[in-house]
Amino acid sequence: MILDLTDDTVLHELWTVQRLAYAVEAELIGFDGIPPLRESLEDLGACGETFLGLYDEEGLVGAVSYQLDGSTVDICRLVVHPRAFRRGVASKLLDALPDGPQTVSTGSKNEPALALYRKRGFVEIGERVVGPGVSITDLAREPL
């Protein structure tokens, strides 16, 4: 389901899940300077990305955002509420993305995310240093 970020309730739910998810990644990679952790509600609402969300009985459990670059789906964010880890939420969200080649980036020390992307056919295409001891791995996948 597409998330309507003009709805204050939806925006706040997304912001909360995002902060919880990126706090876990920050711990995994040893770096708390992940930009979405510092993002305000207003910044999130104005980011220009399309968000798809998944709900359960307790509320929003995860979201994926993307932008289209021609036919390529550039995955900007993939966040899952920690209470829903290992329940297939990330895979369901990735399955809901538009067809086409896909790109994504994640912390190079974020082994759970890297394993998920590799399992789904992504291959590493590069790595960028973004701070002392911190790097980002870029991945891509062609359509199935």
Q: How confident is the model at residue 144 (pLDDT cuts 50, 70, 90)?
A: low
CA dihedral 47, 50, 55, 59 (to 10 degrees): 20
Mean per-residue pLDDT over the chain, rounded: 95
Q: Does the structural domain 8-141 have CATH classification 3.40.630.30?
A: yes
Answer for the pair 49, 97: CB distance below 8 angstroms, yes or no. Answer: no
- Our CA angle for 63, 25, 7, nearest 5°, is 30
The two most distant CA atoms of the chain are separated, in Å, by 41
Q: Which of 29-33, 97-101, 105-109 has the lowest mean pLDDT?
A: 29-33
The residue ranges of every structural domain in the chain are 8-141
How would residue 133 be classed by pLDDT, with cut points 50, 70 and 90? confident
Residue 32 — very low, low, confident or very high, per pLDDT cuts 50/70/90? confident
SS3 content of the chain, % helix, strand, coil (to 5): 35, 35, 30
For the segment 8-21, the average pLDDT, to the nearest whole number, is 97
pLDDT in tens, 44-101: 999 999 999 999 999 999 999 999 999 999 999 999 999 999 999 999 999 999 999 9
Q: Are 77 and 65 in contact (CB under 8 A)?
A: yes
Q: Determine the Cα–Cα distance for residues 12 and 130; give it in Å rounded to an integer.
A: 28
